[in-house]
A and B are shown apart, each in its own frame.
Chain A
Amino acid sequence: MILSRRSVLVGTAIAAATPLRFARGEDTIKIGGIAPITGPAAEAGKFMQNGAAMALEKINGAGGVLGKKLEWVVEDDATTNPGAVLGFSRLVSRGDCVAYTGSIRSTQVQAIAPDVLKAAKPVMFGGTNPGLTQTGNPWLFRTRPNDNYSARVIADYGVNTLKKTKWVIIHSTDAFGTGGKDALVANLSKLGITPVLVQGYSNQQTDFTPVVLAVKQANPDVVSSYFTFENDLGIFARQLRQLGVTVPWVGSPSIINTTALNLAGRALFGTYGIADFTPDASPEATAYATEYVKRYKANPDNQSTWLYDALLILANAINTAKSTDPQEIRKAILAVKGFKGTEGTYNFDEKGDGLRGYNVVKNVNGKIVFDKRIEFTD
């Protein structure tokens, strides 16, 4: 094949001109969404599109919204903050989206938050940094439990069930990892424990030897973690095992993500995970997982479920509000009580948080085994 300039140009032009859409036609109600189609989380972007496709089929199969079909228009965020801001502003400037979906990455939600305020339409997101819904931005709604809860569950499980006292916390230094770390330190301190090591790292590393050696020197009896990207988690996991650290490890949800399980393989056997979504947690989760496996021949994870729930909640809210007026949709979302989604039962509070519980799971030779679900009321 001879790659001439022209063929390259034509190829690029075709690629650029092909928009990613899930339903076509004029008479639809549109939800705009950003997703990592490219960049380090591109696989998660694919999972999101899978989840969205399933949600749209369910919504439109049941009559759509306000008698029209629902459509999810996606823009690439390139897994970066500038990409997220750019993608979101492209969606806003289309002018025809009645609401939006954001990112599962807290850092990116933080990046688009000022534009969300300006757009003044509901934005569903999956980032778990507790602060995201605490800044008084009325348009942000979270379809995952925030890290105040994940940290409480990690601390509770490690201290009361595993009976561990010498803690190491490994965390990404981005908005998600730092928020998680802060929440975990606070929750451990309530139980009278000061971690022997709190170690941050910046995303997208080539090597974790310095971190692993620091863990080894601290001589903990339990390792806990808030990893943002699965490739970082995979490299860390393998080096941790290679350098002989075998103590129990309780990780934030990324530790049981499909991508992480594929990359790290054996290195994650025996670890514990705090999961917002796991197939055995509820009948809704099981039904979703069965359908997802049938369609995509792969196991679902929270990368698709938060968006699936987000679209169902939005459709439900628009139908309840009988309007696409942003204020009306907002009121309808806040009024959601007892909505059974794949991630749990949603009861939105006035801040925009829908869920307050996590599941504890264990990686038994690569299979994720459900242990228990811990729900909070406060």
Chain B
Amino acid sequence: MAIFLQLLFTGLGIGAIYALVALGFVLLIRAASVVNFAQGQFAMVGAYMLVVCLNVLGLPYLLSMAISVVLMAVFGVIFAGATYWPLRHRGGLPVIISTIGASIFLENIVLFLYGPSPEVLPGLFDSPGIQVGQVFMDSQYLSILVAATLLVVLQYFIFEKTLLGKKLQATSQDKEMASLLGIPVAAMILFTFSYSAMLGGIAGMLVAPVLFVSVGMGGLIALKAFAANIIGGYGSIPGAILGGLALGVAETMGAAYISVPYKDAFAFAMLLMFLAVRPQGLFGEKISEKA
């Protein structure tokens, strides 16, 4: 039982990271019909921003995080301007290819600017964690879980309870109609890019003390996050969160109880199973062409 709980805790912690990155995916799919293959690299860029603020400039932790989040928001707009804006009238595929290009570009520009040495970031808290019964709770995994929960609540609040959120939802449902109603569609889409970059960046900053900061860290997470997206339901917000958590738990349990070398296979076997049995995912609507 102790082992099961320990695995559950770790699985949820790692799953929360997948969920945060998956959330960024979903928002862009909904707002701009863009599958952003650079979402994982957002996490990497965010983590490097934190490294620069914290290790190079020597700023305090929370201030460094705040600065990095703001920078990520700006970065999201620049990213949209470079990859989405020039291609926005050409359908989905060119933009997807352009985000793949951007993901390669981002990895290499960071490698070029920062160099190849992987970096170590301290966790949010000095203590490595707490022992609850026979379960060791890593303080950084706890931070990840708390932060993910807060962000999900915040997002729910923004999307459901504010005018901005309603405008964002309207934009994602029908851009033409939204613009007829006087909603600045372009601004809404740029905002979504910016918000999604912030989410990705935060995921990167949170996971950095666990996974270390390296140029390739984004790729590790993004593929799982994308799978989480499909499992949860393509374009569904609660789906992305639950899909991420489910994936984290499934691969951790699968590794522990069945086979460690096939850990990644469990994640993708789950994906295949969903595609075969329930292609709309946990929360997906029956896919029909958007009018």
Contacts and interface: CB of A to CB of B under 8 A. Distances in A.
Interface of A: 2-5, 8, 11-12, 15, 37-40, 42-43, 45-46, 173, 199-202, 204-207, 209-211, 213-214, 217, 230-231, 234-235, 242-244, 259, 262-263, 265
Interface string B85-121: 0100000000000000000010111011001111010
Best-surrounded residue of A12, A37, A210, A214 (most CB of chain B within 10 A): A210
Given A4-B82, A43-B117, A231-B212, A214 B256 contact: yes
A214 to B, nearest CB: 7
A12 B101 CA distance: 11
B219 to A, nearest CB: 9
Interface stretch (B6-14, B49-57, B151-159, B235-243): B6-14
A242 B138 contact: yes
Contact of B261 (A39, A201, A207, A235): A201
Contact of B211 (A42, A46, A235): A235
Interface of B: 3, 6-7, 10, 14, 17, 78, 81-82, 86, 105, 107-109, 111-112, 115-118, 120, 128-129, 136, 138, 207, 210-212, 214-216, 220-221, 252, 255-256, 260-264
Given A259-B118, A265-B120, A42 B261 contact: no
A290 B81 CA distance: 49
Given A213-B6, A231-B212, A235-B210, A12 B260 contact: no
Contacts of B109: 11
Interface of B is mostly: helix
Given A4-B82, A43-B116, A207 B252 contact: yes
A214 B138 CA distance: 18
A206 B221 contact: yes
Contacts of A205: 263
A230 B3 CA distance: 26
A209 B7 contact: yes
Contact of A243 (B14, B136, B215): B136
B118 A263 contact: yes
B3 A242 contact: no
Contacts of B3: 213, 217
A209 B252 contact: yes
B111 A12 contact: no
A242 B111 CA distance: 31
B118 A242 contact: no
A242 B120 contact: no
A262 B117 CA distance: 10
Contacts of B81: 2-3
A288 B7 CA distance: 46
A209 B10 contact: yes
A21 B10 CA distance: 45
A42 B256 CA distance: 31
A45 B82 contact: no
Nearest to A217: B3
